[in-house]
A = this chain, B = another copy of it.
Amino acid sequence: MRESTGGTRERIQAVALELFTEQGYEKTSLREIAERLNVTKAALYYHFKSKDEIVSSFVDDRLRRMDELIEWAGTQPATLATRRELIGRYADAMFAGELPTVMRFFEQNQTVLKSLAAGQQMRERMMRLAHELSRGDDTPAAQLRAVLTLFAVHSSWFAVRTPGITDDERKKIALEVADELLAKITDES
């Protein structure tokens, strides 16, 4: 319940997320963020250790949800039903609540994925998720298919250009295509 006014930290996060998404991470300077909030650049360093720690701060719950998913998948049998359930839950998480905003940030800042700490963690989680999705089928094709199902969920944001399409429809299409890919994993019945 401690939010009152003040909450400079939260205001920094909000402004940073907005500007990073609009203009990109590298092109947004701390001076710009500080000016919007009527504080000095140095003030930002009281709340965050560095520029990319601001990113980490709003990427962290995304990481937590992915960790939960990975852990849950580990307890399930390596069947098609599990894979379907896993990608479904993943899509739910990506399309729900505050996350679409963070999602758009990621779409805008794909390149930042490499250098930033938060980006490397995201990449690692994606590979772990993909690993769960192809568990039980260690062929190269299965590994590729697993990664592509995740991409299906992500790229539905920009790949589908049908005008007036809703987020729900995007999600449905993404899952439809993902399911086809998943069905080809472990055909060793």
Residue numbers of A with Cβ under 8 A of B are 24-27, 108-115, 119, 130, 138, 140-141, 143-148, 151-152, 155-156, 159-162, 165, 169-170, 173-174, 176-177, 180-181, 184
Whole-angstrom distance between the Cβ of A69 and the nearest chain B Cβ = 19
A24, B114: Cβ atoms closer than 8 Å: yes
Q: Report the copy number of this chain in the oligomer.
A: 2
A169 partner, pick from B140, B155, B173, beta carbons under 8 A: B140
A160 vs B27: C-alpha distance when bound (angstroms): 33
Residues of B within 8 A of A109 (CB): 111, 114
Whole-angstrom distance between the Cβ of A78 and the nearest chain B Cβ = 17
B151, A148: Cβ atoms closer than 8 Å: yes
A115 partner, pick from B24, B115, B155, B156, beta carbons under 8 A: B24
Whole-angstrom distance between the Cβ of A24 and the nearest chain B Cβ = 5
Whole-angstrom distance between the Cβ of A57 and the nearest chain B Cβ = 19
B144, A155: Cβ atoms closer than 8 Å: yes
Residues of B within 8 A of A113 (CB): 110-111
Q: A24-B114, A112-B111 are in contact. Are A155 and B148 (CB under 8 A)?
A: yes
